[in-house]
Chain A
Amino acid sequence: DQQVKQNSPSLSVQEGRISILNCDYTNSMFDYFLWYKKYPAEGPTFLISISSIKDKNEDGRFTVFLNKSAKHLSLHIVPSQPGDSAVYFCAARAQGAQKLVFGQGTRLTINP
């Protein structure tokens, strides 16, 4: 039962363009969403988050959008840079819970 799904295992984007990573969820009890970035041989690092009371959160080049009715969130990176090449994980937390539920990840490659 995959409650958080990232249907694109990989994405390739040209440097300077916008990268859009998508995530869908099924559990309506999720009220907090996060994106993590993972380089090879390292643990995931926190990137950006959004509460269910908002529909957008922006931090520099990174913006997360949340569409609760569609149970969908996306991460926009603009402009994309070579250092953004990594695996990106979407994660969600249910109201009152502590543990995070992660998606399968999307490998983003930024081409020069």
Chain B
Amino acid sequence: GAGVSQSPSNKVTEKGKDVELRCDPISGHTALYWYRQSLGQGLEFLIYFQGNSAPDKSGLPSDRFSAERTGGSVSTLTIQRTQQEDSAVYLCASSPDNNYGYTFGSGTRLTVV
């Protein structure tokens, strides 16, 4: 597709359940980023993938969060044992190598009840 695709667009889950969020970046973009926006907050960096390099996981808030990127393309962000404070919009972005511009997806709105 022409843009960054994220699925699902909305997810409601019960506290304690695991969730998987998917990101399909723009074809050919080697860099992929996950951010989240909690209510009333800015965009919080979570994790960054660049080509075959080890990901920058410095923004992951706890060990319940993990992400992988298969084949240098699709990425999955997994949250285990979800908590109410995990409720947020999770945004994925991609960019060409060494390019300063991100293209964001529309996000996944996660609600933990």
Check B42 against A46 for contact (C-beta < 8 Å).
no
1/0 per residue A72-105: CB within 8 Å of B?
A: 0000000000000000010101000011111111
Question: How many residues in A have their beta carbons less than 8 Å from beta carbons of B?
Answer: 24
Check A102 against B42 for contact (C-beta < 8 Å).
yes
Check A101 against B45 for contact (C-beta < 8 Å).
yes
Given the complex, which residues of A lie within 8 Å of B33, measured CB to CB? 99-100
Given the complex, which residues of B lie within 8 Å of A105, measured CB to CB? 42-43
Given the complex, which residues of A lie within 8 Å of B45, measured CB to CB? 99-102
Contact residues of B: prevailing secondary structure: strand
Cα distance, A32 to B100, chains bound together (Å): 9
Sample 19 A-B pairs with CB under 8 A, ordered by A number.
A4-B42, A6-B42, A32-B100, A34-B101, A36-B104, A43-B104, A44-B91, A44-B102, A45-B104, A46-B102, A46-B103, A89-B43, A93-B100, A98-B31, A99-B33, A102-B42, A102-B45, A104-B40, A104-B41
Q: Which residues of B contact A (CB under 8 A)?
A: 4, 31, 33, 35, 40-45, 48, 50, 56, 59, 91, 93, 100-107
Q: Which residues of A contact B (CB under 8 A)?
A: 4, 6, 9, 32, 34, 36, 41-46, 49, 89, 91, 93, 98-105
